[in-house]
Structure formats: structure tokens, C-alpha cells
Amino acid sequence: MRMNRHIFALFMWIGILFVVPSYAQILTVERHVPVPTDSLQVYKLPYMQATDSGRNCIWDFSGLPIDSAEIIDVDYYAPDAASIGLHREHSNLYYHLAQDTLWQTGYETSRAHVRYLIPVAVMKFPFEYGDSLGGAAIGKGQYCHILPISTEGTYSVSADATGRLILPEMTLDSVLRIHSVFQYQDSKGRTVVKEERHIWYSPYCRYPLLESIIESSVKEQDTTIVTCAYYYPPEPTNLGHIHQMREIQEGIIIDPIDSLITEVQYLPNPVFTTLEVSYHLAHAAQVYISVHYNGGVTTYQTPILLEDEGFHSIPIDMSGMPVGTYVVYIHADDMVISGNVIKL
């Protein structure tokens, strides 16, 4: 049984055709939590050995065979007001963002569905090199909608490396690699599974750049090993909050110093009544803010205003909005930044 095969698949985020200068390798709520309305297409590839760990690594994957790769759809959605769903390859994963922690609450495959008795903390923000988390994972559910199943195990997530990632269409510095290990067995101890993932992220991109997976399953004397990898090609959706879209040509450098919108905050988060959206503009721009709920429904939008360079703070009354997870977008000229906000 491979019910947990995609447990950490939420870590799937990416970029574009460019060389990026050095920048802090930190994953944050504002920049790296998935948006429930996003859809991606990724390349499914043969497994790649994850070499080197530590600081200032160089990973050269420029020869990935993307021309012959299978293209996989990845969709994020809102299964209910308080959850983020991920659909990929006949699997659905369910998550809940609570303040600074992203929890996995369960998963479904074509044959099984499992809910965790205690949610699994798959990421705690901010997350940077040297950080780690882990704990127990205990799940219960059904197999083929008939047979009861239960799993018990442990998981660990660590930021074990930083460096430069060379891909077929891009080279990025300031990349952070996440190493996750999930080990579990069924309630009778007959099957023991270990899943290990290496995932590369950029501070510029909401979704991963690359993901490499190896899973071993031991039942009695038989061992089964399944491997694969995913590459996320350059698409505007995958740039997340970095939408200062100049003409995309080879050699263009996207520098965070030149970003129109910086120092973004959504406070308090979670929010009960009034949300303060604050940010700094590098120069004058036409700005408006929109709030979206339940898979993209717009619940609030400010008028478009010409704002001067400097700091700005916009109050948004959320007291009458339903409880749940919202995506707040700041639109400034051609740039868009988004962040998830929990309404209690």
C-alpha cells in the first residue's frame, strides 16, 4: 500500500528563464504558501540523486530530459473554508494554515483515504537553512471504502543545503533545499514504508523548482523501491509574488532590490475584525487590494488609487466575512503580491 506516497507533495513551487543574484534563502507565509486557485503543469522525470549538502552547493541538472517527459497537472483548490487542497496524479492532499505553520490533515488516493488524528506539521514559517521540525504521524481511514486501515510513523523536515541550482532553462542562486523523511508502518507491522524527498526552492518563487523522491516498501522479505522526480517549468503563475514582469529574455536579472512592492505585512493573522495590509512602494504606482475566498471568489476590493513612493497601510474590515482562509492580493502597476490570511 502506498497511501502516503504524496504526503509532502505540497512542497511544489517554481520560477522563469533568468539568473538570480544572491538573496536570503528563507521560506515565508507571504511568499510560499500555495494559492488555492493556482494550477501548474510539471514534468515527471526519472529519479535524480540528491548530491551534496551544506552551504554554497552547486547542483547541475541542466541535462534533465524534459523533451521526453510526461506532463502532469497540479491544481490547488479550497475544499472548504478552512483548508487548502492539492490534486496531483489521482491524489488529493488536505492542508490547514494556522498562523505560522502549515499542517497536513489527511490525504486521498484512488484506493484509500486517511485522516491524521493529530495534523502533521509539514512546514513552519519562516524556514531557513539549519531549521528542522518533526514528530509522530498517526492516521486512520479506509481502503477501497470498505477495509479499515491505520498507519503509525514519524516524519522529519529539515533545510539541509543552500546554493546554486542549474536547470535546463534557468540558473538560480540563493536556492534552499528541503530534505523530508517519512517512515510509517501499518497497524499490524506487516508493511514498513520509508519515503525520502529532496525539494529545491527559490525565495523568489511560490512553488518549488525541483523535487526528487525515493520510496522503499518492505513487506516480509520483499522490498519494493519506487522513484521519480518533478521539474516545474517557467510559467508566470509559478512566480508567485514576484510579478515585476519585464520582457523575459535570456540573461535578464530580477533583483529584489528593484521590486516595486516590499516589506509587505498582513496583520493580525489570524484576524477577527480589521486586517491591516501594509507595504512599501519603491516609486509611485496605481494600487488596489483584493480579497478572495473559497477558490477565488472576490469578497472585497479597494478602489484603484495613485499612491506615492513610501510606506502605506490599508485597513480592511473582515468582521462580516465567513470564517476560513483568504488570499489577499496587492496590485501595483504590473506587479502582484499575495498572502494567505486566516479569518477566525
Task: Please check whether residue 252 lies inside any domain of the structure.
Answer: no
Task: Please check whether residue 113 lies inside any domain of the structure.
Answer: yes
Handedness of CA 245, 246, 250, 252 (dihedral sign): negative
CATH (domain of 289): 2.60.40.1930
Whether the CB-CB separation of 74 and 208 falls below 8 Å is answered with no
| Weakly modelled stretches of the chain, pLDDT under 50 | 1-23, 236-237, 239-258, 295
What are the tens digits of pLDDT across the range 104-134?
A: 999 898 888 889 998 999 999 999 999 999 9
Assess whether 170 and 209 both reside in one domain: yes
Question: What pLDDT was estimated at residue 312?
Answer: 94
First to last CA, the chain: 38
Strands (E), 220-323: 222-231, 261-267, 274-281, 285-293, 297-301, 305-307, 310-317
Determine the residue type at 279.
Y
Cell of 329: 492580493
Assess whether 24 and 83 both reside in one domain: yes
Task: Please check whether residue 9 lies inside any domain of the structure.
Answer: no
Assess whether 170 and 299 both reside in one domain: no
Task: Please check whether residue 246 lies inside any domain of the structure.
Answer: no
Question: What pLDDT was estimated at residue 294?
Answer: 55
Assess whether 320 and 189 both reside in one domain: no
Task: Please check whether residue 251 lies inside any domain of the structure.
Answer: no
Task: Please check whether residue 247 lies inside any domain of the structure.
Answer: no
| Residue 239: strand, helix, or coil | helix
Structural domain count of the chain: 2
Assess whether 185 and 307 both reside in one domain: no
Assess whether 217 and 263 both reside in one domain: no
Query: By residue range, what is the domain housing residue 337?
Result: 259-343
In the block, residue with C-alpha cell 505560522 = 100
Assess whether 229 and 263 both reside in one domain: no
Assess whether 234 and 268 both reside in one domain: no
Assess whether 206 and 279 both reside in one domain: no
Question: What pLDDT was estimated at residue 4?
Answer: 42
Question: What pLDDT was estimated at residue 325?
Answer: 80
Assess whether 26 and 162 both reside in one domain: yes
Question: What pLDDT was estimated at residue 189?
Answer: 67
Assess whether 27 and 108 both reside in one domain: yes
Question: What pLDDT was estimated at residue 156?
Answer: 95
Task: Please check whether residue 244 lies inside any domain of the structure.
Answer: no
**Does the reported pTM lie above 0.85?**
no
316: nearest Cα among 296, 336, 341, 286: 341
Among candidate residues 239, 269, 302, the one where a domain is terminated: 239
Assess whether 133 and 206 both reside in one domain: yes
Whether the CB-CB separation of 289 and 277 falls below 8 Å is answered with yes
Task: Please check whether residue 57 lies inside any domain of the structure.
Answer: yes
